[in-house]
Structure 1
Amino acid sequence: MSQSKEELEKVSQPETVFHSAIDQWWRAKEKNKSNGTTSQGGSRDTNLAGDTMDGFRDTLVNLLIAEAGVDPADIFTGGQFSSRASNLPSYFRASKNWDVVVCKRAFMQQLERGGYDGSEKLVAAIEFKSQYESIGNNQNNRIEESIGNAEDFWASYENNNFSRLIPRPWLGYLFVGYYAEGDETKTVRIKQPVIPTDPAFLVGGEVHRLQGVQVQGHSYAERYRIFLERMIAKKRYDGACFLVSHEDIRSATVNYRVLFPTLSGAAFVDGLVRHVRAYYPD
């Protein structure tokens, strides 16, 4: 079925759903830099810098309330020791502090109402990550950490740590990176002295796989695309978002770029809201 003119125009327009969040991200980076704080992204940003990803948290919370009808009391975004901690039980460790958690009839709410009956419903959990410098040096660490968090989450789910095998919750991953325009096309050398690299990561794919011990790989941005698309295909994440910004556009009306349409902010929000909306009203 062909798309209407209005639909085509909407697709072609740059998105701005996370404009204020990106603005906050930049302002926090400046503040942290002037204070001598090193930002590491995700939950560690909350611990070290305090507000690096707060704009993304606030945007998602507002959308969940306004568009999905979520009760604000069901949204948890606090640090691991706060009164509204967004902690969930893990499998390979005691707990994990996610950036945003949506849970109906949470444990603390049941206790406040007179007793625990195990009726909580975990609806969604979201992880934030950002990288500002040393994209290449830190990329594998970010990916390894994110794979581990997702595997731990689903192992905990399968172990009935979320009280019981409730309907599958929605797990999301949102990434913000520092990329100048054109960075996404810069190739990266790969050494393959033991076993040839997966051709998906190579420029030229299978054709160039056996041309030598050192070959040209796709850019760091493309590596993230492959990682996120494969995590979604393996159902380790239900939605993923990959956004990039740079000083050249930080003050523009459109202050971030979407390199891969399937990993856009709009697609991420749409998937999250569609899932959560099914739980409200109860």
Structure 2
Amino acid sequence: MADNLYGAFEEAVRDYWRVLDGQGRKQLERGAVDQGRRAQSTGGKQFDSLAAVVAQIFQDEGFPEESIQFGRRAVVPGYYRPTKAWDILVVHGGTLVAAVELKSIASSFGNNLSNRAEEAVGLSTDLLTAYREGVFGTVKPWLGYLFLMADVEEVHRPSGTSSTDLSIDEEFLNPHSRNSRDRIVSYGKRAEIMCRRLVLEQLYDASCFVLSSRDPESEVVQPAADLGFGNFAASIRGHATYVRSMVE
């Protein structure tokens, strides 16, 4: 990956925390004190810099700025529901080129991680089924999933889970566990497994998993090479080349 793109990506990850903290301060100043970190996660702007970096890759590949949609404009037809919003859409020449989802977890890792897995599977399944039924024409849209997790001590410790009489997938099991409280691998590892399997099962064409601290001087960590932003960007470029050959 080009150094300037990687630098922009790292800065965008750090900007996520700057904006998130700023949103929390603004809401607290207005007296809107929400439970937990909700005050910081309801402002909707914390992913703007990351969205811009992803969008720039598509622009560099020849898709005009007006073909890239964000926020309320980034809506596609569904199969199990009439429409669904994504974080980034690329629509060019009447063709849905790509859809990208940006997600994060900064706290309550157990519940939130399970919710993220269900959301990611459902979101992709809805769009891909609509594609199968001819909603988007003959060109299969590229789907991307970028997942940011707070790099805190809790993320690196073994975790627990609900009890079950059935066998849990061994990849999720902590080989050093001594009791049910640390029976499962860390939340960070669980997130990595989730992101990798989203691609393995062809629910997404590429996934990027990032660990990052609020400290602007700290390292932006990409724990797995196959889930790094370099691979994510390369996958976009490959699809962009294919789509241009089909629609131009």
TM-score norm. by structure 2 comes to 0.85
- Whichever residue aligns with residue 86 of structure 2, its letter is W
- Are 2:157 and 1:186 aligned? yes
Instruction: Return the match for 2:168 from 177, 197, 218.
Output: 197
Q: How big is the shift at 1:63?
A: 2.1
Q: C-alpha separation between the residues in 1 aligned to 2:198 and 2:10? A: 26
1:61 aligns with 2:55: yes
Q: What is the rounded CA distance, in whole Å, between the counterparts of 1:146 and 1:90 in structure 2?
A: 14
d(CA) in 1 for partners of 2:9, 2:210:
9
Deviation digits for residues 184-242 of structure 1 (CA, Å, limit 9, x no counterpart): 5411123433212111110229xx8xx98776111111111111211111100100001
Q: Secondary structure at the match of 2:139?
A: coil
Per-residue CA distance 1:169-192 (angstroms, 9 max, x = gap): 110000111113x65541112343
Alpha carbons 2:160, 2:180 under 8 Å: kept? no
State the one-letter code of the partner of 1:268.
Answer: F
Q: For residue 16 of structure 1, what is the aligned residue in structure 2?
A: 7
- Tell me the amino acid that sits aligned with residue 119 of structure 2: E
Deviations 1:91-134 (A, max 9, x none): 111111111111112xxxxxxxxxxxxxx221111001011122
> For the residues of structure 1 that align with 2:160 and 2:243, how far apart are their CA atoms?
47
Determine which of 90, 111, 119 is the counterpart of 1:137.
111
Aligned residue identity for 2:56: N
1:90 to 71, 78, 82: 78
Task: Return the letter of the residue paired with 2:13.
Answer: I
Please report how far the alpha carbon of residue 57 of structure 1 lies from its aligned counterpart in structure 2 after TM superposition.
Answer: 1.0
Which residue identity lines up with residue 172 of structure 1 in the other structure? G
> What's the counterpart of residue 151 of structure 1?
125
Aligned length: 234
The 5 A counterparts of 1:33-182 are: 33-36=24-27, 48-66=42-60, 68-79=61-72, 85-105=73-93, 120-162=94-136, 164=137, 166-180=138-152
Aligned partners of 1:230 and 1:274: how far apart in 2?
Answer: 21
Q: Which one has the bigger helix percentage?
A: 2
Contact 2:74 2:87 in 1 (8 A): yes
Matched, 1:262 2:233: no
Q: 5+ unaligned residues in a row in structure 1: which ranges?
A: 1-6, 80-84, 106-119
Distance 1:74 1:193, change over 3 A: closer
Larger Rg: 1 or 2? 1
Q: Does structure 2 retain, via aligned residues, the 8 Å contact 1:17–1:265?
A: no
Please give the alpha-carbon distance, in whole angstroms, between the structure 2 residues aligned to 1:259 and 1:238. 19
Identity %, equivalent residues = 25
**Separation in structure 1 between the aligned mates of residue 162 and residue 17 of structure 2, nearest angstrom:** 35
Q: Counterpart in 2 of 1:245?
A: 212
Aligned partner of 1:111 in structure 2 is none
Give the C-alpha shift of residue 136 in structure 1.
Answer: 2.0
- Tell me if structure 1 keeps the 8 A contact 2:139–2:243: no
Once the two structures are TM-superposed, the CA of residue 17 in structure 1 deviates from its matched residue by: 4.4
TM-score, length basis structure 1 = 0.75
1:135 Cα deviation (Å)?
1.7
Aligned-partner SS, 2:134 = coil
- In structure 2, list runs of 5 or more residues that go unmatched: none
- Structure 1 letter corresponding to 2:113: Q
CA distances 1:11-63 after superposition (whole Å, capped 9, x unpaired): xxxx53412211320111111110237677xxxx6xx3131100011111222
Change over 3 Å in CA distance of 1:121–1:184 after alignment to 2 = same
